[in-house]
Structure 1
Amino acid sequence: MSQATTMSLSVQARVQRVVMKGAGHIPPALLRFARRWGRVNAVGDRLAPEMAVTGWVADTLPAFELAGKPIDQARADLRENAAAMAEDLPAMAVEEDLVIEGPGGPIPATRYRAQVSSSGIVVFFHGGGWVQGDRVSHDNLVRRLALSCGADILSVDYRLAPEHRFPAAVDDALAAWQFAVDKAPDWGVRTDRIAVAGDSAGGNLSAVVAQQVSRKGGVSDRDGGHAVMPCLQMLIYPVTDVSTKRASRHEFASGLFLTDEHMDWFLDHYVPDVEQRTDPRVSPLLADDLSGLPPAYVVVAGFDPLRDEGIAYAEALEAAGVAVTLDRAGSLIHGFANMTLISADARAAVDRIGAALGRALR
């Protein structure tokens, strides 16, 4: 049992959890009825009613506000809110806390394995705008992925801004990739069955790792005999270009959990030097050459400020000859992968993500 991801909920969070569980059992017929009056975006997607309520709550209650508060409070609030929304999932066969030697010191990580055997490794980087988020906030998601894809999930606590600004998170992500490659034989996994995955800022880091590793022709395995590249880059509503604001940043600027103002706040902490924001390690869409990268599965939410840059990255990868699947979760908002307790649409989308990882690893 992981000690690092075990969390005791406050009384308020326990009450919140009861309410969330109840919301997750609203009859589908009632949700379909409510959806008929839901908001429609510019491309015709209709917002799921539970996503509309989540957006309203996040816009109304300070505890659900992602940004604009003291850093420690923002991190604690996200951690508790995510834990309160965790599903009751089966126990893991393997669940161990690890330490990765990183360029800036030890990097905490947790490995999850649902079954006795494993189909591969997924190196997972959590979201949170490079400022917040950790193994606790994404514990439910990685457990769900471990169950659905049959692989080891290595959840990585890379260094966060503003204490550790760009490129600290990138350096830690690359160290975590090398660690997974080195550990694969010990875990009984083939080195050609290792993927990178992440949501939001973690999707950004996954795309960057895929680019950086591929530029070097792969990372050498422990014996130095093979160069290893990701077999898949799983990019869940990723940040891909912070140098500009596309239409979705304006269309969904407020009221839907992640806002345009939040993104500015995150970037000001992670990359305060505006000149650095065109660096492909911050904005992977701006890389000179995207050819030769690993296959990608890009997930975008229909009502997400980051939607259009995710689509742009998928299109750029495809134009460069990379095998790409673009999964448009039209009824959902940013952060839905942590909302599976309350949303059937979110559960279905995360199930597709797990299935795609499973196919790539097998």
Structure 2
Amino acid sequence: MNLSLEELRQSNVIAPEMVEALARQPMPEFPGHDPIAHRHARADHLKRLRHLMPVSGPIPDLVTEEGISVDAEDGSPIPVFVYRPAQSTNQTHPVAVLFHEGGWSAGDATDEEFNARRLARDLGFVCLNVEYRLAPEHRFPTAISDSWRVVNWITRNSSSLGADLKKGFIVGGSSAGGHIAAIMALRSQKESLSPPITGQWLSAAYLVPFNQVPEKYQRQYISPSENTNDPVLNGLSEQGELGLVVGVFGADIHSPLFSPMATAYYPPAIKGPDAGFLAKAFIQVGGLDPLRDHNLIYEKILRQEHGVKTRVELYPGYGHMFWTNWPEMSASKKYSEDMIAGFQWLLS
């Protein structure tokens, strides 16, 4: 997607529907000084909205659900929730591994369960919904290493779940979950994961740290400083970004386990005979989101410098994670339908 600066700025004009939704239901103020209190207040807020989601609860006639665990690097159990089509016979299915949002320090698998159910019901996926461990109790790189363990586990155990990775092996998530998915896709390429990841769904993802924007894209990296009206992130200042990424999560911001802009990946490390094997990418992001330009610039990098096939859905006037915080909006319903269409495209 190639937008002019004026078009980018027009996309951060708040949509009338978003104004009306905020008037009905203002975004609550969560305690910002205490990550644990923030986590619990945020979970309570989202739980009150869950009945408005596209699939608000289990659908046992159509999708089976079970909990399993995968061993982490230190031997701790990583809970993973598995969703499968209930009516399958001997047919095998593509796989989607989902990672929830929450800034690496909040959220849980319930944030992705409605997407997992829809993907199993509507597209026949076997979905693995990962409960990676959270900061500050478990700091970087725990969330990344937990997620990588699950991705590796499914390459060895797909047949036990009725899955066939050659039919599709997609990683995805929103916000911090989208960041994790991007790292999984890059790491799988670098380490020659077999079978390879074939698709990545990056939704409002954290992708391009402010101090690692390639020079050619710096003029287009305006959303973190200009999208100050976002009702969820309220503008992601450099100080606030470092406070979350380094202070709470404890990340090494230049590590290839954290940054898609790390020297292991950018400049592109896969030119030559292996070029073009990086997973195709489907990206969704709101125009009002401070992370908008993380996503739009990363799409250009993937497409222009890695030779990756990409597809983008931009929602002008809507902010970060609008579909979960105001699921009754028409734009939120469109987002959900676009997600299904995007996963179909990733499989094509």
Q: Give the TM-score of the pair, scaled to structure 1.
A: 0.77
Query: Which sections of structure 1, spanning at least 5 residues, go unmatched?
Result: 1-39, 219-226
Contact 2:11 2:317 in 1 (8 A): no
Note the aligned Cα RMSD (angstroms): 2.6
2:273 maps to none
How many pairs are equivalent?
Answer: 310
Deviation at 1:182, TM superposition (A): 2.3
Aligned AA (2:317): S
Q: Within 1, Cα distance between the matches of 2:69 and 2:160?
A: 15
1:184 to 158, 172, 179: 158
SS in 2 for 1:228: coil
Q: Within 2, Cα distance between the matches of 1:162 and 1:358?
A: 36
The 5 Å alignment of 1:203-222 reads: 203-218=178-193
1:71 to 35, 41, 47: 35
Deviation at 1:332, TM superposition (A): 2.1
1:233 correspondence with 2:233: no
1:278 maps to 254
Contact 2:147 2:180 in 1 (8 A): yes
Q: Within 1, Cα distance between the matches of 2:123 and 2:201?
A: 12
Flag the 1:90–1:106 CA change in 2: closer, same or farther, 3 A: closer
1:352 to 323, 338, 341: 338
Aligned AA (2:99): F
1:100 to 70, 80, 88: 70
Aligned AA (2:14): L
Q: Within 2, Cα distance between the matches of 1:61 and 1:156?
A: 27
Aligned AA (1:253): T
Aligned AA (1:268): V
- Bigger mean CA offset, 107-116 vs 206-215: 107-116
Flag the 1:135–1:271 CA change in 2: closer, same or farther, 3 A: closer
1:133 maps to 107
Deviation at 1:124, TM superposition (A): 0.3
1:198 correspondence with 2:173: yes
Contact 1:78 1:137 in 2 (8 A): no
Q: Percent identity?
A: 25
Deviation at 1:309, TM superposition (A): 1.0
Q: Within 2, Cα distance between the matches of 1:82 and 1:149?
A: 26
1:247 to 222, 236, 244: 222
Superposed CA deviations along residues 188-240 of structure 1, whole A, max 9, x for unmatched, are 2212222101111110100000111111222xxxxxxxx21111011111111
1:122 correspondence with 2:107: no
SS in 1 for 2:110: coil
Contact 1:94 1:114 in 2 (8 A): yes
Q: Within 2, Cα distance between the matches of 1:355 and 1:119?
A: 17
SS in 1 for 2:340: helix
The 5 Å alignment of 1:8-47 reads: 42-44=9-11, 46-47=13-14
2:231 maps to 256
Q: Within 2, Cα distance between the matches of 1:126 and 1:232?
A: 17
Deviation at 1:161, TM superposition (A): 0.9
Q: Within 1, Cα distance between the matches of 2:249 and 2:325?
A: 28
1:361 maps to 347
SS in 2 for 1:133: coil
1:296 correspondence with 2:264: no
Query: Which sections of structure 2, spanning at least 5 residues, go unmatched?
Result: 1-6, 214-220, 271-276
Contact 1:239 1:283 in 2 (8 A): no
SS in 1 for 2:256: coil
Flag the 1:210–1:249 CA change in 2: closer, same or farther, 3 A: same
Aligned AA (1:237): A
Q: Within 1, Cα distance between the matches of 2:255 and 2:21?
A: 34
Deviation at 1:98, TM superposition (A): 1.2
Superposed CA deviations along residues 114-134 of structure 1, whole A, max 9, x for unmatched, are 442363111000010001010
Contact 1:75 1:132 in 2 (8 A): yes
Flag the 1:272–1:80 CA change in 2: closer, same or farther, 3 A: same
Q: Within 1, Cα distance between the matches of 2:317 and 2:300?
A: 21
